[in-house]
Amino acid sequence: MKSGLLAVVLAIGLASPAAAQIYSWRDADGKLVLSDQPRVDRGTMTTYAVSGAATVRATKPLPTSLKSALYDASINEHSRRMGVSADLVRAVIQVESAFNPSAVSTKGAMGLMQLMPATALEMGVSNPFEPDQNIRGGVAYLKRLLVRYDQKVELALAAYNAGMGNVEKYGDVPPFKETRAYVKKITGTAPSAPPNAIYKWMELVNGKSVARYSNKPPESGAYEVVSRR
């Protein structure tokens, strides 16, 4: 049955130009796996070009819990060794890459914990796309931030996302929407606004850009903190 299925896949692939890829490998029990997605652990697999992809039923993406389980051993080991909550590490990976070890951001962050090249080098990570190395480096960097900010998780996460310079500039979670949303996603709570902050943003009035100021940020759109009272 399995060999027949492979023969069908091979025959389809040879029949006409490729329109999609089918990946195959053996799981831990020796069973044959066929999928339209490559295996997430970057292990050995075979790929076949398949035409007429509309007639091929694709597998569903792995649930987050199963994706996480692939890396539990590394997460638990490095979290225990560094004294960082394993659940916090899992939450960071989920928000950073959704457990995709091949993820690359537009800014060049790489792998499961989205390490920037300089951070990977500093943490001794030679291959940021190798899951165990990436997790080790990411956990070590997160530990460094937690120590720097006296175990204040929100500040450590803000620095992980926006950089230590921005956290120290504002003395709190920076007033960047991306960073505040990032912290909220991981901790489940929105960080408090910087104390005594004055917010500035631009509004279009009669075709002209007009500056607006308030002690509260706007409900939508970009803004900046211009001073503290």
The predicted-structure confidence for 7-34, as pLDDT tens digits, reads as follows 434 343 444 444 456 666 666 666 666 6
Task: Report the number of distinct structural domains present in the chain.
Answer: 3
92-97 LR contacts (CB < 8 Å, sep 24+): 92/138, 92/142, 92/157, 92/160, 92/186, 93/68, 93/135, 93/138, 94/64, 94/68, 95/182, 95/185, 95/186
Joined together, the tokens standing for residue 129 give 């796309």
Identify whether residues 169 and 223 lie together within a single domain. Answer: no
The dihedral through the CA atoms of 75, 79, 80, 86 has a sign that is negative
Identify whether residues 73 and 142 lie together within a single domain. Answer: yes
Identify whether residues 71 and 166 lie together within a single domain. Answer: yes
Q: Name the more confident of 96 and 205.
A: 96
Identify whether residues 174 and 218 lie together within a single domain. Answer: no
Domain extent at residue 12? 2-61
**Within-domain flag for 192:** no
Identify whether residues 40 and 137 lie together within a single domain. Answer: no
Catalytic annotation, pick one of 96, 154, 168, 219 = 96
**Residue 60 reports pLDDT greater than 60:** no
Identify whether residues 88 and 143 lie together within a single domain. Answer: yes
> What CATH number does residue 160 fall under?
1.10.530.10
Identify whether residues 33 and 86 lie together within a single domain. Answer: no
Query: In this predicted model, what pLDDT tens digit does every residue of 159-200 receive, in sequence order?
Result: 999 999 999 998 899 989 899 999 999 988 656 555 666 777
Query: In this predicted model, what pLDDT tens digit does every residue of 148-160 receive, in sequence order?
Result: 999 999 999 999 9
Tally Cβ neighbours within 10 Å of residue 209.
Answer: 8
**Within-domain flag for 36:** yes
> Strand ranges (DSSP E) for 13-73?
20-26, 32-35, 46-50
Rg value, the chain, Cα: 23
What is the C-alpha to C-alpha distance for residues 125 and 110, in angstroms, rounded to an integer? Answer: 11
**Is 203 a residue of the active site?**
no
Joined together, the tokens standing for residue 5 give 């299925």
Identify whether residues 90 and 174 lie together within a single domain. Answer: yes
Instruction: Output the CA angle 72-77-83, nearest 5 degrees.
Output: 120
